[in-house]
Amino acid sequence: MVASTGELEAQAAAKRKQMRRGILKMIMMNIVFPIIIYSVLEGKVSLVLALALSGIPPALEGLENIWKNKKVDAIAAIVILSIVFSIVVVLLTSDPKLILLKDSIQTVFFGIGFGGSVFMSENIIWRYQRQFAGSDPDVQANLDLQYANPKVREVTNFMCVIWAIGFFVEAGIRVTLIYTIPTAILGYLSPIILLVVLGSLGIWSYWYARYTRRKFLQESHE
């Protein structure tokens, strides 16, 4: 059964709304809440504990995603290891730089995950596309059909590579700042750096997806 124009528009609107909610949630859990927690705790507890506790919201978001998806993928595994690392650091050391380095290590693994996924049967970007699309069998079958197109794989693989580079750059910037500015200040800057990098990658991905879609449509009409 072919969906009407109104139904397609409603589906597109629902997807955009879901995406906006996802972006807002990501910003709150990974940027706003960590900064609030850190600002409240700074000066009242050790820097190590303040930084570790500010990482609770992102960790909870990662665990929630694992629970929802009922599986542990590469990204989820990195989140779990990050939580374990934070606990170990809090118990064994008083060096707050190690907590901040944890975030850089996590970002490096994200980069490896995105870059390495281009050699797998399905890259990470397409897997997340499946999650956003829902569990409807017809929708998933359509995604299978799209991914069978070499051009779709080429575009999404390129996007994965760009995201991997972005994560590596973010990790490099963060490590440099860890050893050049006061740790107390970086506690505020660290989430903002993540926001800038993810925001830039997200905006670029949106533009690139629209550009390639228009290009495909033009080629199909030639």
Other Cβ atoms less than 10 A from the Cβ of 68: the count is: 9
Q: Is the pLDDT of residue 82 over 70?
A: yes
pLDDT confidence of residue 136: 74
What share of the chain in percent tops pLDDT 90? 23
pLDDT confidence of residue 216: 81
pLDDT confidence of residue 173: 93
Q: Is the pLDDT of residue 1 over 50?
A: no
- For 45: left if phi > 0, alpha if psi spans -120 to 50, otherwise beta; the answer is beta
pLDDT confidence of residue 23: 73
221 — pLDDT class (breaks 50, 70, 90): low
pTM summary value: 0.77
Closest C-alpha to 172, from 80, 95, 105: 105
- What is the rounded distance in angstroms from the CA atom of residue 187 to the CA atom of residue 170? 15
pLDDT tens-place string over residues 142-169 = 888 889 989 999 999 999 999 999 999 9
Q: pLDDT higher for 130 or 211?
A: 211
Q: pLDDT higher for 108 or 75?
A: 108
Q: Could you tell me the CA-to-CA distances from 145 to 40, 122, 139, 142 in Å, in that order?
A: 50, 13, 10, 5
Find the mean pLDDT for residues 188-206.
89
Rounded to the nearest integer, the mean pLDDT of the chain is 82
pLDDT confidence of residue 161: 97
